[in-house]
């Protein structure tokens, strides 16, 4: 019997047959990749297979809930779309700034500061250089923790005004491993004018870069590929002269400024959780 390839229940086969196919597909998929973790769930699977039609759907929903809540990746293709919709979307979270110790912990590299803090909070391994992902710095867990989303963290190693090429390369490499091509690209950047440590989320496409050279660079190379933006407020100098603004964003953060930027992490995590739900 062919797999349903994600069709809704009742569209192509008798509902009971569809449920049997879905259960078999989920069970075999989990069994191949997670033998040890599947063992405690065998009774649930048996209940689904042997249950009457009225109970079968109930048990299948429970099984799918276990799959998604524990972060287990399944290759099952017969799950109904209504169930797949509850799975968190993978996120590629990219920060832009300027490279090297000279620009580390400057206001203009606030995105990097936040991503370092995010990796620490999530318990991710340290960032390491990855040529396949645009020669940037990458951090991701080897196993997705139970109940957590699939977030890959990436830091640009290019100068701000040339960060687009690296972001595009990282996205193309990351997207190859995303099931059904469903995932979101998130850019974390500093945001002038906003209060220090304030967090903004912009999901609309075609929005202005508002003079931000990193965003301009990304927009110039990503074409029609959508991405969302998380801005980290860095305040604004009193003077509006361009040279004064440049000196302000490129200066090292003092202790209070760094604390405010790093203190935005809870808001950033909340925004990312919002994005992974679609």
CB 95 within 8 A of CB 188: yes
* Distance from C-alpha of 214 to C-alpha of 195, rounded to nearest angstrom: 20
Distance between CA atoms of 278 and 269, rounded to whole angstroms? Answer: 15
Concatenated DSSP letters for 208-259? --TT-HHHHHHHHHHTT---EEEEEE----S---HHHHHHHHTSBP-HHHHH
139: tokens are 């951090």
The CA-atom distances, in angstroms, between 129 and each of 51, 133, 179 are 51, 8, 25
CB atoms within 10 A of CB 242: 9
Residue 106 DSSP label: B
Please say if 133 is a catalytic residue.
no
Catalytic residue among 59, 61, 108, 212, which?
108
Q: What positions carry a catalytic annotation?
A: 108
């Amino acid at each position: 019997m062919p797999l349903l390839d994600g069709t809704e229940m009742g569209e192509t086969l008798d509902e009971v047959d569809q449920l049997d196919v879905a259960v078999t597909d989920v069970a075999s998929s989990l069994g191949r990749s997670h033998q040890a973790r599947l063992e405690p769930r065998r009774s649930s699977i048996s209940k689904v297979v042997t249950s009457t039609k009225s109970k079968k759907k109930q048990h299948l929903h429970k099984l799918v809930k276990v799959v998604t809540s524990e972060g287990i990746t399944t290759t099952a293709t017969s799950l109904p779309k209504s169930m797949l919709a509850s799975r968190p979307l993978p996120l590629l979270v990219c920060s832009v700034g300027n490279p090297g110790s000279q620009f580390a912990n400057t206001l203009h590299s606030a995105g990097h500061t936040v991503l370092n803090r995010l990796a620490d909070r999530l318990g991710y391994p340290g960032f390491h250089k990855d040529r396949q992902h645009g020669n940037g710095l990458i951090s991701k867990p080897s196993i997705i923790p139970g109940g957590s989303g699939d977030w890959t963290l990436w830091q640009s190693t290019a100068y701000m005004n040339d960060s687009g090429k690296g972001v595009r390369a990282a996205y193309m490499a990351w997207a190859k491993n995303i099931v059904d091509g469903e995932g979101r690209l998130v850019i974390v950047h500093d945001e002038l004018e906003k209060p220090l440590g304030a967090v903004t989320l912009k999901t609309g496409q075609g929005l202005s870069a508002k003079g931000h050279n990193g965003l301009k660079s990304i927009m110039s190379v990503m074409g029609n590929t959508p991405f969302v933006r998380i801005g980290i407020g860095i305040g604004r100098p009193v003077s509006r002269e361009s040279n004064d603004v440049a000196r302000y964003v490129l200066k090292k953060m003092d202790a209070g400024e760094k604390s405010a930027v790093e203190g935005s992490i809870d808001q950033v995590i909340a925004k990312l959780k919002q994005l992974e739900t679609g």
